[in-house]
């Protein structure tokens, strides 16, 4: 009865209630009463947010708007029906008490007991949509407490905990908690949006170590996986990251809006300029990043491949990118190349491969199997999916149920057709087209955190055409700006896994040094 009465209370009175108000009542930020000063300030702050040229300026304006609108008060209150706040509060208080008493053995037991992803529903995307900056302070406190507890255990002297015991604890904790992956979709010349997303994450040191890409996404992960962070800082300028030759429209192109199309030679020159001549294994040894590139087979009975340092360590990354960017009808299928034990460049698998979008644009299941990932960030620029692309974890209404039903029906029809085509026309072009369509519809195109352009419709004529320097700058800025509102969500949701990865790297390095 108390909860029902509280739910009927006017929203303006709820924020003045004590902390034991009904959970559902605190799920809506309170908007300040408009006055002369507060009526003007929000408009100015929104303009500052819109005009921000870096993340620090954007974050400052976002925090100010949260304070003004009442969202900051929502952040500071534990109570909400959106997550198990009581469980998280108990965990935070318990960890702090153990640290205060110096009970290291109790701290180790608590970490073994409770390091799990999305504890109490704290990773729900809706919790990060209420305020412009961050989420509930309790969630941030919990993540900070766990990360600091892990670092404290790492620093324990050997008389309290041996190196072997630490290593075992951190490995089990990492395995249970999981890790994040960033997946870049296909998207033609919209690849510069991916570059902006990567730039924003690199500047905040939030770029995951597990990366995947197909087509345009393959170019992006090849750049990120074959260069050190110092090299990437110098690379992220329009002139350095141009795909194709430098271009400016002539009078005909300016007057008609038509553009020339990339040719294969322009792509090859770009790959030679931007991507070092490295295999997947050599790239991992250089950058420490696990990059994966999707390619699709030409032959009907071959399976798609996810190429990386585990599945194809000797394959040359340039050839993998060329294959993943090979759009059927525009570019010839590509023979993958590898480096053998004598250092010679030789053909790999003796098969030809095409654009990876047809088989594994966003290969979440394969990454989970290979790298233990369970949290996915998606940079989506696939022009055929953008018009209807939504994060289903935030938006489950509207036409989405109808779209899912239509997709399921189409997938079933294609699967049925595949039986007859495989029986009567096993090598026909129609059979190949049916298989490609089935592969496309079988994929899942959303992640736990999704980043996409606000503009959802792009001219097909622009997808395989060159861009001017100003257009490249603008599309990269769009990628950065679309990433900024998700930075804190990424930071909070990945902090524990990033801490575990850093600790494991230090512990492993220490063990190797001790042996040598």
Q: Which of 238, 183, 191, 131 is nearest to 367 (CA)?
A: 183
Tokens of 188: 């033609």
Tokens of 158: 């050997």
Tokens of 482: 């679309």
pTM over 0.85: no
DSSP 125: G
**256: exposed, middle or buried (Cβ count in 10 Å: 0-12, 13-18, 19+):** exposed
- CA dist 492 and 514 (Å) reads 34
Q: Which residue has the higher pLDDT, 307 or 176?
A: 307
If you average pLDDT over every residue of the chain, what do you get? 81
Q: Express each pLDDT in 182-220 by its tens digit.
A: 999 988 889 999 999 999 999 999 999 999 999 999 999
Determine the pLDDT at residue 15. Answer: 35
Mean pLDDT of 463-476: 84
Contacts of 426 (CB under 8 A, 6+ apart): 300
Q: Which residues pair with 450 in a beta bridge?
A: 378
- CA dist 357 and 369 (Å) reads 20
**480: exposed, middle or buried (Cβ count in 10 Å: 0-12, 13-18, 19+):** buried
Q: Which residue has the higher pLDDT, 134 or 469?
A: 134
DSSP H helical ranges for 29-162: 36-51, 55-69, 71-76, 85-101, 104-114, 137-155
- CA dist 473 and 239 (Å) reads 9
Determine the pLDDT at residue 193. Answer: 94
Tokens of 33: 């009463």
pLDDT band, very low/low/confident/very high, at 233 (cuts 50, 70, 90): confident
489 three-state secondary structure: helix
Q: Express each pLDDT in 355-375 by its tens digit.
A: 776 666 788 899 999 999 999
Determine the pLDDT at residue 419. Answer: 52
Q: Express each pLDDT in 316-351 by its tens digit.
A: 999 999 999 888 777 888 999 999 999 999 999 888
- CA dist 45 and 51 (Å) reads 10
For residue 141, pLDDT beyond 50: yes
Mean pLDDT of 5-34: 40
Tokens of 89: 């509060």
Rg (CA), the chain: 25
Determine the pLDDT at residue 26. Answer: 46
- CA dist 28 and 178 (Å) reads 31
For 153-162, 336-345, 444-453, which range has the lowest pLDDT when averaged over its residues?
444-453
Q: Which residue has the higher pLDDT, 129 or 457?
A: 129
pLDDT band, very low/low/confident/very high, at 455 (cuts 50, 70, 90): confident
- CA dist 239 and 257 (Å) reads 23
CATH class of 179-246+258-390+445-484: alpha beta
What would the DSSP string read from start to end of 291-360? Answer: EEEEEEESSTTPPPEEESTTT-TTBBHHHHHHHHT--TTTS--EEEEEE-TTS-EEEEEEEEEEETHHHH
Q: Which residue has the higher pLDDT, 399 or 484?
A: 484
pLDDT band, very low/low/confident/very high, at 36 (cuts 50, 70, 90): very low
Q: Which residue has the higher pLDDT, 7 or 335?
A: 335
For 141-150, 242-251, 311-320, 411-420, which range has the lowest pLDDT when averaged over its residues?
411-420
CA distances from 238 to 283, 368, 433, 461, 476 (A): 24, 34, 37, 21, 8
Q: Express each pLDDT in 77-125 by its tens digit.
A: 999 999 999 999 999 999 999 999 999 999 999 998 877 777 888 988 8
Q: Which residue has the higher pLDDT, 467 or 159?
A: 159
Q: Which of 70, 74, 64 is nearest to 44 (CA)?
A: 64
Mean pLDDT of 130-134: 94
Q: Which residue has the higher pLDDT, 90 or 302?
A: 90
For residue 302, pLDDT beyond 70: yes
What would the DSSP string read from start to end of 362-400? Answer: S-HHHHHHHH-EEEEEEE---TTTGGG---TTT---TTH
């Amino acid at each position: 009865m108390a909860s029902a009465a509280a739910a009927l209370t006017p929203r303006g009175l709820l924020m003045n209630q004590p902390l034991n108000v009904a959970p559902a009542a605190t799920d809506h930020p309170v908007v300040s009463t408009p006055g002369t000063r507060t009526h003007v300030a929000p408009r100015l702050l929104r303009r500052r947010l819109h005009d921000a040229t870096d993340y620090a300026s954007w974050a400052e304006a976002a925090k100010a708007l949260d304070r003004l609108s009442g969202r900051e008060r929502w952040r500071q209150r534990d109570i909400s029906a959106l997550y198990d706040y009581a469980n998280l509060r108990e965990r935070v208080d318990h960890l702090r008490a153990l640290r205060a008493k110096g009970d290291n053995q109790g701290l180790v037991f608590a970490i073994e007991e409770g390091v799990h992803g999305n504890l109490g529903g704290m990773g729900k995307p809706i919790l990060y949509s209420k305020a412009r900056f961050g989420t509930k302070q309790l969630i941030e406190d919990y993540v900070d407490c766990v990360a600091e507890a892990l670092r404290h255990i790492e620093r324990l002297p050997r008389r309290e905990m041996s190196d072997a015991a630490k290593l075992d604890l951190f490995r089990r904790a990492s395995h249970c908690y999981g890790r994040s992956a960033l997946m870049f979709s296909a998207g033609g010349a919209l690849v510069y949006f991916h570059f902006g997303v990567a730039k924003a994450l690199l500047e905040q040191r939030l770029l995951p170590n597990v990366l995947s890409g197909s087509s345009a996404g393959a170019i992006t992960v090849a750049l990120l996986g074959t260069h050190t962070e110092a090299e990437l800082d110098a690379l992220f300028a329009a002139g350095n990251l141009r795909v194709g030759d430098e271009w400016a429209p002539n009078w005909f192109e300016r007057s008609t809006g038509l553009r020339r199309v990339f040719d294969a030679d322009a792509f090859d020159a770009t790959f030679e300029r931007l991507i070092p001549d490295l295999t997947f294994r050599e790239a991992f040894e250089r950058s420490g990043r696990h990059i994966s590139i999707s390619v699709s087979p030409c032959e009907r009975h071959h399976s798609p491949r996810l190429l990386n340092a585990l599945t194809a360590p000797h394959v040359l990354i340039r050839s993998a990118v060329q294959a993943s960017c090979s759009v059927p009808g525009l570019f010839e299928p590509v023979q993958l190349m590898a480096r053998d034990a004598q250092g010679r460049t030789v053909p790999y698998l003796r098969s030809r491969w095409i654009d990876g979008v047809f088989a594994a644009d966003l290969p979440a299941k394969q990454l989970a199997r290979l790298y233990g990932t369970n949290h996915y960030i998606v940079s989506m620029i696939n022009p055929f999916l953008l018009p209807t692309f939504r994060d289903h974890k935030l938006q489950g209404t509207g036409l989405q149920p109808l779209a899912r039903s239509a997709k399921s029906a189409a997938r079933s029809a294609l699967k049925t057709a595949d039986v007859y085509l495989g029986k009567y026309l096993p090598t026909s072009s129609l059979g190949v087209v049916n298989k490609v369509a089935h592969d496309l519809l079988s994929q899942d195109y959303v992640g736990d955190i999704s980043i996409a352009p606000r503009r959802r419709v792009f001219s097909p004529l622009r997808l395989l055409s060159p861009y001017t320097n100003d257009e490249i700058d603008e599309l990269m800025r769009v990628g950065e700006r679309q990433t900024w509102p998700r930075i804190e969500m990424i930071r909070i949701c990945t902090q524990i896994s990033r801490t575990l990865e850093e600790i494991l790297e230090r512990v492993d390095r220490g063990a190797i040094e001790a042996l040598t």
